[in-house]
Amino acid sequence: MKSRRESNARFRLVLTLGLAVVLPALTLIIVNFQHVKSIQRDKKVEALIHRDFQYLLTIAAKKMASKAYGMTEEARDAFPSVNDSDDEKRRKLEQIVQKNPWFTHVFFYDAKKGLVLQPQHDLMTEKDVEESSKGYSVWFSLEGQYLCAQLNRKPKPIMWMPSESQKPNGLVYTTTAIFSFPGADRDRPVLGGVSFDGVYLKEKFFPKLLEELTSQSFTNNPEQVYEQGFHELMPHEAIEHPDQKLAMMVYPAEAEPERPVAMSAGWGSGKPEVTYKLDDPFRGLALGIKFQGTTAQAISRRWVWQSFMILGVLSVLMIGGLVLTYRSVNKQVALARLKSDFVSNVSHELRTPLALIRLYAETLELGRITTQEKKNEYYSIIRKESERLSALINNILDFSRIEAGAKEYDFRETDIAELVCNTLDSYRYQIEQQGFALEEHIDPGIPAVKVDREAIARALVNLVNNALKYSDNEKFLGVRLYREQSMLKLEVSDRGIGIERNEQSRIFDKFYRTCDPLVHNTKGSGLGLSLVRHITRAHGGDVEVESTPGRGSKFTLSLPLAT
Ligand code: ADP
């Protein structure tokens, strides 16, 4: 009946835990697990990073173009007009070249007056100048009008002519801007042009821009990042790589990225993760981007691994929490059972001596007992039963005081040998009557110790009572008092039913009673040993048990001599 109620309570607990905690937590963990797996399977982290890279490259390309356009437009504003004299034109062009050392040459073409080409002298030989001038003159005389018409149709009247040339220090990429002038006569083609120095592009223009673009960490300077439109870079919540530095390179679009035109610091080795083909003014070139020292794949792998770890730790924590809750509730259920057992045991314990006392007192009262011997026997039964009753009530009172934290001990210098003798004396008759052989051994010369007389006597009585109650085969009771170094030992041993090993530590818990059938049939409250332990600990000592089932038990109280 009892165990059915308990297992019902346990079942209800498991059900509640399952429905309220495990199910939602498990669902959450499984859903997250699936989610992380799908991210891993579909390479979503890589895709997001690549999308961000693509975006960054678009911005980089725009920045490069707008810088080149800006430089060109600034130069165009200083260009001569058709009405200027030849000297004036030359002077103005010379000024432009001086102010802009990154142009290898600039030129001005007027269909009526021909071409004026101003070289950067240290960048062009006489021969180069001659060849270029000839080339432009022929070209513009043939197609000048057509070019002007084309340019005027564009939102920005500038066209670009990229070219590559092999120089002693490697392949050099350059670009030339050809532009028309607003408000020029339709039938008189007038064109201007500036040609960028390839070495300048390779060594200054591209490296500076790449450095600028890659030095911004995604989160270092949010305002600047925002201005430049980088705010879109890392919009996704879960995947962040703000500390990852970027590296970029510019390389000829047709060639492999092994032959870069320029690259930012920290490129190291390896291929770009995402590439972007540049349009005017740098048509023919491409941009590549990657992380410094890592790859999107590695970042993704780390993220997935971290997510799995977190889920794993969460699962372990959940299981741990469950086990702890289950155990603690189990304990509570067991304690509740022990308490209800205690109530029924105590009521029995109270009822039996009371009934006996009443019965014998009534019999005496009726005056039916004639012999003095019989009368004495009845008196003794009444005395013994009332002693049992007060021992039980004392235990319960002590216990409730301990539970309320109000138990106080009265420590006094005590001759403990005499205390043990006296206590045993008052039980000697009962012990012998029950057929027990009492073996008493008290070492001489035990010094006086400061103890609470009543409490120590109660501990001893509890141990003696237990020995009497739990011995059904060999009726033996041994009591020893001796000194061991700085400790005083009080041993109570029996050759009774003994205690199973796994129960030995629990018998000192309040209300705990072992499962032995003899224990079940013997009345008890399960409080005695918990009191014994409390009393000895209050004296700075402890209680231990040694026991073999079927062979008997030995309880040893250890009390420090100097308290
Ligand atoms: P009670 O004797 O009232 O049940 P105790 O706290 O004194 O309570 O003892 C707790 C339990 O320990 C007992 O129910 C019994 O199962 C076990 N026990 C105590 N003393 C002995 C002993 N000497 N021999 C065998 N079992 C014992």
- Structure confidence by residue, pLDDT tens digits, 174-229: 899 999 887 777 778 889 999 999 889 888 899 998 888 887 654 433 333 333 43
What is the C-alpha end-to-end distance of the chain, expressed in Å? 49
Mean of the pLDDT values across residues 266-293? 85
How close is the Cα of 441 to the center of ligand 1, in Å? 23
**Two structure tokens written together for 510:** 């309040």
pLDDT at 391: 81
Phi, psi torsion values for 188, nearest 5 degrees = -125, 90
Higher pLDDT, 168 or 415: 415
Mean of the pLDDT values across residues 248-268? 79
- For residue 467, the ligand 1 atom closest to its alpha carbon is 23
Q: What is the 3-state secondary structure (H, E, C) of 327-391?
A: HHHHHHHHHHHHHHHHHHHHHHHHHHHHHHHHHHHHHHHCCCCCCHHHHHHHHHHHHHHHHHHHH
- For residue 471, the ligand 1 atom closest to its alpha carbon is 24
Mean of the pLDDT values across residues 425-433? 84
Q: In this model, does residue 1 exceed pLDDT 60? A: no
Provide, for the chain, the percentages of residues in helix, strand and coil under a 3-state DSSP scheme, each rounded to the nearest 5: 55, 20, 25
Q: In this model, does residue 235 exceed pLDDT 60? A: no
Q: In this model, does residue 453 exceed pLDDT 80? A: yes
With left for phi above 0 and alpha for psi between -120 and 50, is residue 511 left, alpha or beta?
Answer: left
Determine how many CB atoms are found less than 10 A away from the CB of residue 432.
11
Q: In this model, does residue 277 exceed pLDDT 50? A: yes
How close is the Cα of 519 to the center of ligand 1, in Å? 7
Q: 197: Cβ below 6 Å to ligand 1?
A: no
- Evaluate whether 420 touches 481 at the Cβ level (below 8 Å): yes
pLDDT at 384: 81
pLDDT at 412: 92
- Evaluate whether 418 touches 458 at the Cβ level (below 8 Å): no
Structure pTM?
A: 0.56
Q: In this model, does residue 468 exceed pLDDT 50? A: yes
Helix (H) or strand (E) holding 405: none
Residue 475: Cβ-neighbour burial (10 angstroms; 0-12, 13-18, 19+): middle
> Per residue in 104-153, pLDDT tens?
999 999 888 888 899 987 878 888 889 889 999 999 888 888 888 888 88
Q: In this model, does residue 23 exceed pLDDT 60? A: yes
pLDDT band for 450, please (50, 70, 90 cuts): very high
How close is the Cα of 407 to the center of ligand 1, in Å? 23
Which of 251-255, 352-356, 498-502 is the least confident region? 251-255
Name residue 178's beta-bridge partners.
159, 193
pLDDT band for 68, please (50, 70, 90 cuts): very high
Q: 493: Cβ below 6 Å to ligand 1?
A: no
> Per residue in 303-320, pLDDT tens?
889 989 999 998 899 889
CA-CA distance, 44 to 38, in Å (whole number)?
A: 8
The mean pLDDT value of the chain amounts to 85
Percent of the chain at pLDDT > 70 equals 93
pLDDT band for 547, please (50, 70, 90 cuts): very high
pLDDT band for 239, please (50, 70, 90 cuts): very low
How close is the Cα of 529 to the center of ligand 1, in Å? 7
Best mutation site among 463, 494, 497, 499 for ligand 1 pocket (most ligand atoms within 8 Å of CB): 499
Q: 467: Cβ below 6 Å to ligand 1?
A: yes
Q: CA separation (Å) from 18 to 24, 146, 204, 320, 372? A: 9, 83, 68, 14, 71
How close is the Cα of 331 to the center of ligand 1, in Å? 20
Q: 36: Cβ below 6 Å to ligand 1?
A: no
Nearest partner of 520 among 539, 542, 497, 502, judged by Cα? 497
- Evaluate whether 338 touches 399 at the Cβ level (below 8 Å): no
pLDDT at 499: 95
How close is the Cα of 528 to the center of ligand 1, in Å? 8
Nearest partner of 440 among 480, 491, 468, 474, judged by Cα? 480
Beta strands in 397-541 (DSSP E): 412-414, 437-442, 449-451, 474-484, 487-495
- For residue 527, the ligand 1 atom closest to its alpha carbon is 6
Q: Whose CA is nearest to atom 3 of ligand 1?
A: 524
pLDDT band for 2, please (50, 70, 90 cuts): low
pLDDT at 346: 79
- Evaluate whether 136 touches 228 at the Cβ level (below 8 Å): no
> Per residue in 490-520, pLDDT tens?
999 999 999 999 999 999 998 888 988 888 8
pLDDT at 471: 93
Q: 553: Cβ below 6 Å to ligand 1?
A: yes
pLDDT at 257: 62
- For residue 519, the ligand 1 atom closest to its alpha carbon is 16
- Identify the three-state secondary structure at position 103: strand
Q: 466: Cβ below 6 Å to ligand 1?
A: yes
Strand 474-484 versus strand 285-291 pairing type: unpaired
pLDDT at 218: 46
pLDDT at 243: 64
Residue 498: Cβ-neighbour burial (10 angstroms; 0-12, 13-18, 19+): buried
- Evaluate whether 518 touches 497 at the Cβ level (below 8 Å): yes
How close is the Cα of 550 to the center of ligand 1, in Å? 14
- For residue 516, the ligand 1 atom closest to its alpha carbon is 16
